[in-house]
Amino acid sequence: MLTVLDFEFNQAFDFGGQQGRTDPRCRFEIIQIGAVTVDEEYHITKEYEQLIKPRIYPRIHPYVEKITGLTTSVFKNQPHFEEVYPEFREFIGNDEVLGVWGSSDIKALFRNLSFYNMTGEGLIIKYTDIQAMATKALQYKNGVIGLKNAVDACNLEIDRPFHNALDDAWYTAKVLEKINPEKLKLKLFNSARITAFAEKQVVVKNRRSKSNRTRKKDR
């Protein structure tokens, strides 16, 4: 019925006096996929987890390492995104809807797909924002509720670490089971918009680079 997913990401950072270079096409690179499928009553039926060896930002950001416990060496023998995503699609199977904690994971997924030219023509996906549903169901007043706060509010046992893609997906599914919505509010996400946005950023960046070179010549 539904696949609940979560990602962990890496990004550029300054290292050894060298400025980290952010690729505008993909600012956040997926380094771990975690997912669970749930049935009609939101009970977890199966799990999926896979580390992904980063290509865009091969050195793990210190903050990412701190909160996830994942070091650069952990990824040495892990497969790349192009190998992992087809396998992940097999896990999803015929599930038409993805469940996420906020929309940022969906956006990041398509940016990663776009970077590797894996989006196809105008790929559209259905998803449901479990964070938004939990914020409303739990009557959270301070903006949108965080995952740990939602877990606490639902009186769920904390027996897994946070900031692990599989465990966060598991907690998200457990929150969904607890709030037990009668209907899922579905949204559509069009990958073509992300691709166009990334291409626009690259064009702007190239124009700035040319402008800077011109200024140097004028001096």
> What are the pLDDT digits (tens) for 79-137?
999 999 999 999 998 877 999 999 999 999 989 999 999 986 556 789 999 999 999 99
Higher pLDDT among residues 139 and 19, named by residue: 139
pLDDT of 203: 55
What pLDDT score was predicted for residue 96? 78
Task: Please give the pLDDT value at position 142.
Answer: 86
In 3-state terms, what secondary structure has residue 206? helix
Residue 98: what residue type?
A: L
- Report the range of poorest mean pLDDT among 34-48, 54-68, 153-167, 188-202: 188-202
- In this structure, are residues 53 and 79 in contact, taking their beta carbons and an 8 Å threshold? yes
Total count of residues recorded for the chain: 219
- Using alpha carbons only, what angle is made at residue 133 by residues 132 and 135, rounded to the nearest 5 degrees? 65
pLDDT score at 1: 78
Cα distance between residue 160 and residue 168, in whole Å: 9
**Rounded CA separation 42/175 (Å):** 9
The per-residue pLDDT for range 5-41, each reduced to its tens digit, is 999 999 999 876 566 789 999 999 999 999 999 999 9
Domains along the chain with CATH numbers? 2-210 (3.30.420.10)
Burial code (b: 16+ CB inside 10 Å, e: under 16) for 95-120 equals bebbbbbbeebbbbbbbbbbbeeebe
> What rounded mean pLDDT belongs to the chain?
88
- Over residues 159-164, the mean pLDDT reads 95
Q: What is the structure's pLDDT at 201? A: 54
Confidence category of residue 219, pLDDT binned at 50, 70, 90: low
The model's pLDDT over 168-184, given as tens digits with 9 standing for 90+, comes to 999 999 999 999 999 99
Q: Where are the beta strands (DSSP E) in 115-203?
A: 124-129, 186-190
pTM: 0.84
